[in-house]
Structure 1
């Protein structure tokens, strides 16, 4: 399986697994974002993955091209966080290669990334002063000479996807290990999702609902893993409240990519 195929497969497998509390899957949609929007993104982005594998390139530019390629459906942002993790992995091949890719980013990567960010509807933290909707932010990035890794470091304390760039893809590695430990197939993805959700507050939830809700969701997931809570009921509660662990989903996609490259079987 090529790197591009693995990336595309990881995106498809994540959204197809169920139940993943609060997130779109084959059993439920949100009003404005549905399963077919996620599946459309997995198809539309494939030429960008192919180009990255075949020709290499700047990670910031590739993320921007991926957003442009997947921005022509009505479902809004579906995979921006996943692209932030996948393109270093596709360029580098594995986690060690991805570390080298992110360490080699520069100012132009940062500017391309901010252009991509501005095309999405990704939720910003209240304290973010480098607002993607403010043209002065790009000027500030230029004046500071910030690389894309600097941008991720700037956001790492409040965004777990950005944090992966600064900590050596730690949760991505853990997710891949969990998939191997849980065995093959769809249920390994669900179990790994719950394990991560039970161990770290999802920063997408925190940005949308506050850290208290993110931590409560984490405790509820731990209750499910301990057998003290019902998974279906927890899923229904999250959907009703609009609590969707989108950052965990992005890391699951990256973890699946890594695990597939290590021989993990998705169809057993």
Structure 2
């Protein structure tokens, strides 16, 4: 049975809130702002983007555009483009009658039209993220190919694009298992979300970091994150674990490094788990 709009809205806002309440090194969170953005801006962005992302009868592309437009009006900066790009197909998939969210997501992506592509391109141009205008299909021009194909062409350099190309396989194969494993270990509070974030940060060179600072820096951050994750696993107490993450957080922010793609994928994973549970 499809998930109701009220539950979709609740799931989306809860995923955004859980991500911003987790101490994610280098990213914005309630423990510390950063990169000229605040946690309150992200919470406000989640609030105003929820309605357009769950609007019944509206296409994925139009939801993306309306959500980005609402965010820009509310906070005047790009806080959530990656989140919106990932959340829109997930939320639409939960509206379909099938109980398998992964299969539903693939169905949604397969059914995207050129109108979806044009609306998504307009949203990306509106959000003005660095570098995307130089892609094979300039988002400031009318699209020549469908959204999934455009994302496929960018998937080797952008992990958000890769999710469109692979049916969000990384969300289902990395994010959801990391979340489940953390909960099986007895983790509570923010720690499951931290585990998901670190799973992505250690699993890939963050594409936002690579776009801003180059691939070598992104690979270095990936190695640093792996060392921090290993140290974290050896720390028995919450106070020591928070101190470890805080030190890494300050170091990354001092270098103006923001692993934003890993954070976006964390939201998608939190949302995907909730939607899967709703469909079960």
TM-score category (smaller protein):
0.7 to 0.9
Q: Give the Å deviation of 1:131.
A: 2.9
Q: Give the Å deviation of 1:46.
A: 2.0
Q: Give the Å deviation of 1:261.
A: 3.0
Asked whether 1:29 is paired with 2:30, we answer no
Bigger drift between 110-119 and 208-217 goes to 110-119
| One of 241, 244, 258 as aligned partner of 2:258 | 244
**Within 5 Å, which residues of 2 pair with 1:152-231?**
152-173=151-172, 174-183=174-183, 184-227=188-231, 230-231=244-245
Q: Give the Å deviation of 1:107.
A: 1.1
Name the SS for the 1:188 alignment partner.
helix
TM-score by length of 2: 0.84
Name the SS for the 1:227 alignment partner.
helix
Bigger drift between 193-202 and 72-81 goes to 72-81
TM-score by length of 1: 0.88
Partners of 1:177 and 1:56 in 2: CA distance: 32
How many residues align? The count is 252
Deviations 1:164-222 (A, max 9, x none): 11112122112111111101431111122112211111000000000000000000010
Name the SS for the 2:157 alignment partner.
coil
Q: CA RMSD in A?
A: 2.0
| One of 53, 56, 80 as aligned partner of 1:49 | 53
Name the SS for the 2:54 alignment partner.
helix
Q: Give the Å deviation of 1:129.
A: 4.2
Q: Give the Å deviation of 1:235.
A: 1.3
Is the 1:81–1:247 contact (alpha carbons within 8 Å) kept by the matching residues of 2? yes
Partners of 2:134 and 2:12 in 1: CA distance: 32
Partners of 1:251 and 1:87 in 2: CA distance: 13
Unaligned runs of 5+ in 2: 1-5, 95-100, 235-243
Bigger drift between 31-40 and 244-253 goes to 31-40
Is the alpha carbon distance of 1:75 and 1:68 closer, same or farther for their aligned partners in structure 2, counting shifts above 3 Å? closer
Bigger drift between 192-201 and 205-214 goes to 192-201
Partners of 2:53 and 2:74 in 1: CA distance: 19
Partners of 1:262 and 1:99 in 2: CA distance: 14
User: 2:104 maps to which residue?
Assistant: 97
